[in-house]
Each structure stands twice: as C-alpha cells, then as structure tokens.
C-alpha cells in the first residue's frame, strides 16, 4: 500500500511537505518529481536494490524529463533551472530512494557542473548536451585509497608528454564511474610542485574507455546498493593536453566551489531520506496493532514521529537557506557546511527511529525503512565527512588551522 492510498495519513504528509515559500514553478517541479518518484521509482527500486542493479530505465526516464540538465542553460541542452530546483528534485527522489538521487547528484553536480563552470567552449559543447539528456553520466574522482578528506595529499600524477597528459595513480569510491553509460571521469592529479614543494593539483577529463584506465568491479557496499561505485586505476593513461579542465594547478581551488555546492545537494538528499522515514512511519503506525491498540495511539511513538518531523523541518530550512544564498550570490560556504552537517545527522537519527517503529520489519531489506537505514550513514561521510564540515565551520568563524 502506498501513502496515496491512505487518506488520513496523506493529509498529514502533505501538510508537512508544503511548498511554502517556493515559487509556483519550483513548487510544480517538486510535485511533478514527487509523483514520478512515487509512481516510477517506488514500485521497482526494492528489487533492483536487493540485486545491486543499476537503475538504467529510471535514469533514462529522468533524462527524458530533463532532470540531468536542470541547472544548465538551454544553449547546452539544459533546462535553464537553478540550483534550488536541482535540490528540490534531489529531496523528492531521496524521499523514495537514495541510489537514484545520488546517481543524479553525482552526474550533475560532480560530472557536468565542473565542465560547465570551468570548461572551455569546446569541452562544454562536447559533453554537456549528452550529459544533460542523461544519455551519458559523468563522474568525478578526487578520493584515493590513501585519503579523501585531505585532498592536498593527492598521489595520482599527470605529466605532459608529447601533447598528452600521462596519468598514473588510483582513485577510490568513484560514483557513476563504471556504468554502461558513463561518458567521462574528471580526475584530480598532481601536475607539478609549487613554491615550498606544495603540490599543484589539476583536473583532467578522462573519457570512458581510454586505454590505461582500468575500472574495477563494483564495491560491495552497506547502502546505496543501486548506485555505481568503483575503484579506478591509471597506468600510463594518456589523454590529449586539451582535456585539462580549468587552469593548470588550480584544480584544488576549483573543486572547493564544486564541493561547497555539493554539500547543499547532499543536505537536500538527507532531508529527503528523513522525510521518507516520516512518510513510512506515519503509514505504518496507522496499520500496526499491539496490545489491542493501533500503535499510533502510543504517545511514545507519536513523540518519536513529532521529533522526526521537527528535525526534518529544521534541516530543510537549513539547506534551503544555503541554496537561497548561493542563488543570491552571497557567501554560502558556512551555511552549506551547516546544512550538510545537520541534515545528514537528521537522516541518520530518523532512519534509526523509523526502523525502531517498524520493529522486526524495519530490519528487513524489503522494507523501505530498511533501505533508508542502510542508506543514511554514507550521508555523514561522502562529499566531506561531518568532521570536515565542523572544520569548515570553525575556519569560517576565524578559528586557526593546526600548524
């Protein structure tokens, strides 16, 4: 039974999820994607998730809806939307399933966005139209086996030789890097040493299938089971010099902006998952009986759900505020870090509480809350761990870096 079938509960969910403060167009987009997620994703995702299969058909549908082109100009095949629109979509998708949401988030935020922002006109024309249609997926490889939080410690190298970059090294946990429709991976690599021996990090576009790049088999993950995550290794992998993305030696600085935005997106996904926990819990407590009563009558459970709602509402305000700042051109680094820190925690707590409300069924892989439980943890790790978010907030408040 879906939420839609249960009128008493639907009213509560709808009210909780009002589009207050959104423009009519953002509100309409939100409700279209809500409908899409409920009708097209929810019925099929459980089985794909259990089998660890990538949701190709859903990705194709999202491509036709233009979701992969949402925040890009029409000139590149985009929809002319903004970053808030993108976040609203991620929230609604993650409310039903996080693997689907992260596939979109990574391709748009990490794959296409750097090309749009830092790419040459040729690079944009070459990649963006197909990425915007969802025919190709983009990936971004920063993390290495030796570390992700400390991007300055990158070991992968690239040297120019005969008009080509020759790349060597390994990247771990790279989302979207091994699907049948992966078009490119942008990798960060050390391309030289600056004054004081500090590494110059640059970003280089590596098209799928380039000789010298090996895509390993999928990791066995705790969650995000339908998302594609691989290790990539580069062994004298050669790409044209023109594949440099942005300025040489500026790779690190460029991606700080990308990561700041990405935090708002992950916060939106976290809010979606937290909301999904509320949707499911409301539905379940109205059906389940114990000791001769609907469990919805027990105040302990009502309070759990009330707290879930209060947390989710707060986290939603945090990510929307960060997104509004971004759109207004105001500084948003601290707010993005706060939104990600708070929202990922809310997702974790709600997933734990929803699982508790479901009792034994919550521990089963074929319930949505079981999936939410498994999917929540990575939100506190990916695109900057919670510790890194606190570090960013502290730095932004003027507290010193360790010397």
Partner 1 sequence: MDFMNVVVCVKQIPDGDQSTYKLDPTSHNLVRDGKLILDDSDSYGVEMGLQLAEQAGGGEVTLVSMAPNSETSGLRTALAMGAARAILVSDAALAGSDALSTAKVLAAAIKRAGPDLVITATESSDGYTGTIPVQIAELLGMPSVTFSKKVTVNGDKVTVERQTEEGYDEVEVPLPAVISVTAGVVEPRYPSFKGIMAAKGKPVEELKVADLGLDAASVGAAGAGQEITSVVPAEARKAGEIVVDEGDAYQQIINYLEQLKVI
Q: Which one-letter DSSP state was computed for residue 127?
A: H
Q: Does 232 bind ligand FAD (CB under 6 A)?
A: no
Q: Does 297 bind partner 1 (CB under 8 A)?
A: no
Residue of 40, 261, 280, 383 marked catalytic: 383
Nearer to partner 1, 32 or 42 (CB): 32
CA-based angle 213:219:222, to the nearest 5?
155
CA dist., res. 167 & res. 177, Å (int)? 17
Burial (0-12, 13-18, 19+ Cβ within 10 Å), 378: buried
Q: Does 400 bind partner 1 (CB under 8 A)?
A: no
With CB under 5 to 8 Å by kind, the binding choice for 251 among partner 1, ligand FAD, none is none
Q: Does 35 bind partner 1 (CB under 8 A)?
A: yes
Q: Judge whether 383 counts as a catalytic residue.
A: yes
Quick one: tokens of 251? 């790779």
Touching ligand FAD, residues 271-300 (CB under 6 A): none
Q: Does 229 bind ligand FAD (CB under 6 A)?
A: yes
CB atoms within 10 A of CB 115: 24
Contacting residue, 77, 134, 141, 276, with ligand FAD by CB under 6 A: 141
Q: Does 243 bind ligand FAD (CB under 6 A)?
A: no
130: left (phi over 0), alpha (psi -120 to 50) or beta: alpha
Stretch that binds ligand FAD, among 25-33, 64-72, 135-143, 263-271 (CB under 6 A): 135-143
The answer to whether the CB of 102 falls within 8 A of the CB of 282 is no
**Number of C-alpha atoms within 13 angstroms, CB side, residue 390?**
7
Count of residues in contact with partner 1, rule CB under 8 A: 23
Q: Does 81 bind partner 1 (CB under 8 A)?
A: yes
Q: Does 21 bind partner 1 (CB under 8 A)?
A: no
Q: Which one-letter DSSP state was computed for residue 250?
A: B
Q: How far is the CB of 190 from ligand FAD (least distance, A)?
A: 15
Burial (0-12, 13-18, 19+ Cβ within 10 Å), 371: buried
* End-to-end Cα spacing for the chain: 57
The answer to whether the CB of 244 falls within 8 A of the CB of 119 is no
Nearer to ligand FAD, 174 or 354 (CB): 174
Buried residues in 272-302 as b, exposed as e (16+ CB within 10 A): bbbbbbbbbbbbbbeebeeeeeebbeeeebe
- The mark string for 78-107 relative to ligand FAD (x by CB under 6 A, - otherwise) is ----------------------------x-
Touching ligand FAD, residues 146-175 (CB under 6 A): 147-149, 173-175
With CB under 5 to 8 Å by kind, the binding choice for 149 among partner 1, ligand FAD, none is ligand FAD
Beta-bridge mates of residue 171: 232
CA dist., res. 354 & res. 279, Å (int)? 10
With CB under 5 to 8 Å by kind, the binding choice for 175 among partner 1, ligand FAD, none is ligand FAD
Shortest Cβ contact with ligand FAD: which residue? 148
Instruction: Show the beta-strand stretches assigned E in 63-106.
Output: none
Q: Does 14 bind ligand FAD (CB under 6 A)?
A: no
Binding site for partner 1 (CB under 8 A): 4, 7, 10-11, 14, 24-25, 28-29, 32-33, 35-36, 61, 64-66, 70, 74, 79-81, 85
Residues with a known catalytic role: 383
Binding site for ligand FAD (CB under 6 A): 106, 110, 139-143, 147-149, 173-175, 221, 224, 229, 378, 381-385, 387-388, 391
């Amino acid at each position: 039974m879906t939420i839609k079938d249960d009128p008493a509960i639907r009213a509560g969910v709808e009210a909780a999820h009002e589009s207050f403060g959104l423009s009519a167009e953002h509100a309409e987009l939100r409700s279209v994607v809500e409908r899409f997620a409920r009708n097209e994703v929810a019925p099929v995702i459980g089985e794909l998730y259990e089998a660890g299969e990538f949701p190709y058909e859903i990705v194709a549908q999202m491509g036709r809806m233009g979701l992969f082109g949402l925040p890009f100009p029409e000139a590149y095949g985009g929809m002319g939307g903004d970053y808030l629109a993108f976040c609203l979509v991620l929230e609604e998708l993650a409310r039903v399933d996080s693997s689907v949401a992260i596939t979109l988030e990574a391709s748009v935020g990490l794959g296409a966005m750097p090309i749009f922002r830092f790419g040459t006109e040729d690079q944009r024309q070459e990649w963006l139209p197909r990425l915007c249609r969802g025919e190709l997926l983009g990936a971004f490889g920063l993390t290495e086996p030796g570390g992700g939080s400390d991007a300055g410690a990158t070991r992968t190298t690239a040297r120019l030789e005969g008009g080509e970059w020759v790349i060597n090294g390994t990247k771990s946990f790279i989302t979207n890097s091994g699907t049948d429709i992966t078009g490119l991976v942008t990798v960060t690599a050390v391309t030289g040493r600056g004054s004081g021996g500090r590494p110059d990090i640059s970003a280089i576009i590596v098209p799928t299938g380039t000789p010298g790049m090996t895509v390993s088999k999928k990791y066995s993950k705790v969650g995000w089971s339908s998302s594609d995550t691989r290790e990539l290794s580069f062994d004298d992998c050669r790409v044209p010099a023109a594949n440099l993305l942005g300025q040489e030696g500026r790779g690190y600085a460029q991606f700080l902006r990308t990561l700041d935005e990405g935090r708002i997106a992950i916060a939106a996904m976290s809010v979606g998952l937290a909301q999904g926990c509320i949707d499911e819990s409301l539905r379940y407590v109205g059906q389940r009986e114990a000791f001769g009563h609907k469990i919805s009558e027990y105040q302990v459970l009502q309070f759990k759900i009330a707290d879930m709602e209060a947390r989710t509402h707060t986290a939603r305000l945090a990510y929307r505020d960060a997104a509004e700042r971004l759109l207004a051109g105001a500084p948003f680094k601290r707010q993005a870090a706060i939104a990600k820190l708070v929202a990922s925690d809310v997702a974790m707590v709600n997933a734990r509480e929803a699982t508790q409300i479901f009792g034994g069924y919550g521990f089963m892989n074929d319930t949505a809350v079981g999936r939410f439980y498994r999917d929540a943890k990575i939100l506190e790790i990916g695109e900057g761990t919670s510790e890194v978010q606190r570090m960013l907030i502290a730095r932004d408040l003027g507290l010193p870096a360790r010397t």
